């Protein structure tokens, strides 16, 4: 049967390889230093320890601050979502211009009415060509394009309630 390595969350004990453990029988190497160097080494060790302690404290404060920022950002987004729902729709303007079907489509065309509809809104301008022929009313963008309704209204073909 193969051995399965269990995580520390399951066992409660951290898995450490034998080579990583400190050997209790091994003696630490002794470094002989000059008297002035020892004092300097002690000072640098203390300052490094105080710096790491300060950085740990700073990191924990930063984490706490970032968590509060996340909460405030999520609240702000929720408010912004509600505000977006209440915001009025941008003003869209349609300008309908009739065109001559035989001049644009050719002498043998079945198109009876042809319109150029300019849609302006949000700083964007879109041009539409709306046709009426044996297939009915349609735009180059499809039958459900909003320009079709504006061309119908311009021509006088208003949908009747039946």
- Residue-level pLDDT at 82: 61
- Residue-level pLDDT at 89: 72
In a domain, 20, yes or no: no
- Which SS3 state, helix, strand or coil, does residue 32 take? coil
As a whole number of angstroms, the distance between CA 16 and CA 10 comes to: 15
The burial of 80, by beta-carbon neighbours within 10 Å (0-12 exposed, 13-18 middle, 19 or more buried), is given as exposed
- Residue-level pLDDT at 3: 72
Write out the chain's pLDDT in tens, 162 residues: 677 766 666 666 666 665 545 555 655 555 555 555 666 666 666 666 665 666 666 666 666 666 666 667 777 777 766 655 666 777 899 999 999 999 999 999 999 999 999 999 988 999 999 999 999 999 999 999 999 999 999 988 765 554
| Cα separations in angstroms, 146 against 49, 139, 152 | 70, 9, 10
- Residue-level pLDDT at 162: 44
The pTM of the full predicted model, rounded to 2 decimals, is 0.44
Looking at the fold, whether 82 and 36 belong to one and the same domain comes out as: yes
Looking at the fold, whether 129 and 151 belong to one and the same domain comes out as: yes
What lies within 8 Å, CB to CB, of 130 at 6+ separation is: 114, 115, 116, 117, 137, 138, 139, 145, 147, 148, 151
Range of the domain at 102: 93-155
Looking at the fold, whether 100 and 82 belong to one and the same domain comes out as: no
Q: Say if CB 96 and CB 103 are below 8 A apart.
A: no
Size (the chain), residues: 162
Instruction: Give the residue from 59, 87, 115 where a domain finishes.
Output: 87
Looking at the fold, whether 101 and 150 belong to one and the same domain comes out as: yes
Residue located via tokens 């309908």: 96
Looking at the fold, whether 80 and 133 belong to one and the same domain comes out as: no
Looking at the fold, whether 98 and 82 belong to one and the same domain comes out as: no
């Amino acid at each position: 049967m193969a051995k399965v390595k269990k995580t520390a969350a399951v066992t409660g004990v951290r898995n450490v390889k034998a080579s990583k453990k400190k050997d209790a029988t091994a003696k630490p190497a002794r470094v002989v230093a000059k008297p002035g160097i020892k004092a300097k080494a002690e000072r640098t060790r203390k300052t490094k320890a105080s710096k790491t302690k300060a950085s740990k404290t700073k990191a924990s404060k930063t984490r706490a601050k970032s968590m509060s920022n996340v909460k405030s950002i999520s609240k702000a987004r929720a408010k912004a979502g509600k505000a977006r729902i209440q915001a009025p729709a941008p003003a869209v303007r349609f300008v309908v211009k009739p065109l001559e079907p035989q001049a644009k489509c050719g002498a043998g065309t079945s198109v009876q009415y042809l319109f150029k509809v300019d849609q302006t809104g949000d700083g964007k301008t879109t041009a539409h060509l709306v046709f009426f022929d044996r297939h009915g009313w349609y735009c180059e963008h499809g039958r459900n394009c909003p320009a079709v309704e504006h061309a119908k209204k311009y021509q006088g073909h208003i949908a009747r309630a039946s």
